Structure 1
């Protein structure tokens, strides 16, 4: 016979098989009927311990009847409700990597341990088709993407009172291992742009290399987004082609993707000249159907064609974006400004993914190591000239003296040093340096200040 335990324990009873069963109310259906959570244990004491733990976990929580559905069913509903363009790409991940392992489990019963087991299993045998080199192992980057999908989905489930808390929070996930990006040098960029005799695509790729837009974003640009007076460009939409093959005009990849960027004067001039002969509302229309934006696949085709004709290294379209990011940093653009131009969620994303060490950076880094070890380093003529400037002693206090620049810690492994002197004509010029330690950043900032003071 069922009986009520001590206050707060819920209903408990001993079953015919000798085990103890208890239940607590965790929510209510729309008609007011209670939603129970059942717990089993071998002894009454063990059961009471479990009930106390669950009572604490479900305190101030009111689950809905959707908490009884399977994870796979919730994923389907989530995809339907949150069917933005970016989420369409999640369908394959959910079908191949999440549903086969956790799709049948009740969504409110999924635990962090279940999530952790899923990641380990995918890492070791998650690849659907055997790879000649990696077998059935799934890369860390793929597991990280699956984690991002699950985290976002279950975060919405938590907000909708389908689960008490997000089981992906605190789960150990592998770090992404991105393949080295192919960055075009300045000389290769000149060759690439000079080789394209088709003005449509020459303007297209020039704009891409001076803005770093995503492929769908640059295809979705309209003349109403271009302000030739202020020299700005609004990024408000993205073009993609789903499996059906029809062009779709949708939102940008992230909310930060909706942005206004300032264009270089040369890009402004190109777009102004292009606008004089415009026959479409789209800045880059489909050549044979100007009422439509150009297809992203066409941009990819022309890029590959130009690379082949010029003998340049094999490059993906997204590498043009990486090229813009890297050259921007080399030119002194600070990370926060670059992050805003690229439409990233944070500056840390920009640093971790879109910046790459070029030959010049490696040379400077190697020289810094030698200096740190007390070895002689052969300086370039420009560096020798800088040596004549009065030696600069960095100030390590939080409040720095005027003329010593500033240092900001971007994340746990990156520091940014910035110097913004005022030129004789009254204009202010800012340049930045980056390093993995404060000491290294101070050394780079010192060299930057000497260089900029010499130029004034």
Structure 2
């Protein structure tokens, strides 16, 4: 394809031929101006020709980032989880559009995205609460980056832009946080402290099965099989923009039945008995097992607040409710439960993720594993009476060390 760059209104522009109109056969051209240097115009010309030759010609447009993201968000509703869709909408409204929403989509660059990420890290929080900083957490900004990378990939597919600017942007590095966990002794102390609490069965489920907060707060009567002593959390309740909404399990393995130990089963059976009596007394039809006596739903954030309040009252380190799940996993692995079983009970996608998440626990089990395997191979270790090395040395007759040399 032929093309050229030229001066226009004190700046640089390009134009090049396109394939003739397929209907009329008339000549077609693509042109764009406003470049500060000839070098920029040359590069844009080459990119445009390359895109056109691939059959992906991008027409010049003043469509803004904000308008595109609103369109993209609406188009993605049917293809992502409801909670993911709601999260994307929140990030678009609060973290992206107010800052770069007016930027023409075709002028979005990696540098501008890097500046956006820096701004969000510095003062991106809309309404800081308590001791919160003005900036967003690196993990949240990384989520913004992932969303934009996916959105701009669709923009390329839709022929809105010729390149994905997010591919060359640099999101913040997110370090892996080692979970804060309670020891088995601390778990026992906590459970002893809350034994009379009306949500005793809920907390038991967290520390004996590793269920997520959304899974236990979304548990329904039909999810529990008392006869087979199993539970299947089918419809988690998560918090999106402050509201509790129904979601989907994070992985397919999260929908498999999880066996209940006798103590947890007994507590859950007693809770269900009280729950059924409340339904009769108040006439409510709420299927959620963990609700107020009159059927009013309990917000998941309230469960977290109560959990931490109980921890303080029990004189224990204050951890997140989610760290109760980590405490279960750590105790299970240290007790020798196979990582595959722990992975399935936690609802992880695969055992590799479990091993990576709890690598600090696995490393501490290495010495014990070495001793166990050695006992299997060599038998129980015994302390010899004499040095086995010296006992095994037999000098041949006539050697200088035998005392029976020549002569």
Q: Which runs of 5+ in 1 are unaligned?
A: 1-7, 29-33, 362-432
Q: Please give the secondary structure, in 1, of the residue aligned with 2:256.
A: strand
Residues in 2 aligned to 1:325 and 1:212: alpha-carbon distance in whole angstroms? 7
Q: Please give the secondary structure, in 2, of the residue aligned with 1:193.
A: helix
Q: Please give the secondary structure, in 1, of the residue aligned with 2:231.
A: strand
Counterpart in 2 of 1:167? 165
In the superposition, relative to structure 1, how do residues 318 and 18 fare at CA in structure 2: closer, same or farther (>3 Å)?
A: closer
Q: Which runs of 5+ in 2 are unaligned?
A: 22-27, 280-285, 381-407
Matched, 1:263 2:268: no
Q: Please give the secondary structure, in 2, of the residue aligned with 1:38.
A: strand
Q: Please give the secondary structure, in 2, of the residue aligned with 1:175.
A: coil
Counterpart in 2 of 1:304? 308
Counterpart in 2 of 1:233? 231
Matched, 1:148 2:141: no
- Larger mean Cα displacement after TM superposition, 180-189 or 64-73: 64-73
Counterpart in 1 of 2:198? 200
Structure 1 position 325, deviation (Å): 2.5
Residues in 1 aligned to 2:90 and 2:275: alpha-carbon distance in whole angstroms? 39
Residues in 2 aligned to 1:326 and 1:24: alpha-carbon distance in whole angstroms? 65
Counterpart in 2 of 1:355? 358
**Aligned 8 A contact 1:235 1:259 in 2:** yes
Structure 1 position 451, deviation (Å): 5.8
In the superposition, relative to structure 1, how do residues 97 and 331 fare at CA in structure 2: closer, same or farther (>3 Å)?
A: same
Counterpart in 2 of 1:76? 70
Residues in 1 aligned to 2:97 and 2:85: alpha-carbon distance in whole angstroms? 16
2:113 aligned to 115, 122, 129, which one? 115
Q: Taking structure 2 as the reference length, what is the TM-score of the superposition? A: 0.69
**Aligned 8 A contact 1:61 1:164 in 2:** no
Residues in 2 aligned to 1:24 and 1:289: alpha-carbon distance in whole angstroms? 72
For residues 12-27 of structure 1, what are the structure 2 equivalents within 5 Å? 15=8, 17=10, 19-22=12-15
Residues in 1 aligned to 2:42 and 2:163: alpha-carbon distance in whole angstroms? 22
Q: CA RMSD in A?
A: 4.4
Residues in 2 aligned to 1:127 and 1:46: alpha-carbon distance in whole angstroms? 36
**Aligned 8 A contact 1:220 1:282 in 2:** no
In the superposition, relative to structure 1, how do residues 184 and 16 fare at CA in structure 2: closer, same or farther (>3 Å)?
A: closer
Structure 1 position 189, deviation (Å): 0.8
Question: Which of structures 1 and 2 has the larger relative contact order (alpha carbons within 8 angstroms, sep 6+)?
Answer: 2
Q: How many residues align?
A: 359
Matched, 1:449 2:373: yes
Residues in 1 aligned to 2:344 and 2:373: alpha-carbon distance in whole angstroms? 26
In the superposition, relative to structure 1, how do residues 101 and 46 fare at CA in structure 2: closer, same or farther (>3 Å)?
A: closer
**Per-residue deviation, residues 126-182 of structure 1 (Å, max 9, x unmatched):** 566899999866553343233233234334445555444543235433332355543
**Aligned 8 A contact 1:21 1:41 in 2:** no
**Per-residue deviation, residues 103-143 of structure 1 (Å, max 9, x unmatched):** 22233443334333433454456566899999866553343
Structure 1 position 203, deviation (Å): 0.9
Residues in 1 aligned to 2:303 and 2:125: alpha-carbon distance in whole angstroms? 31
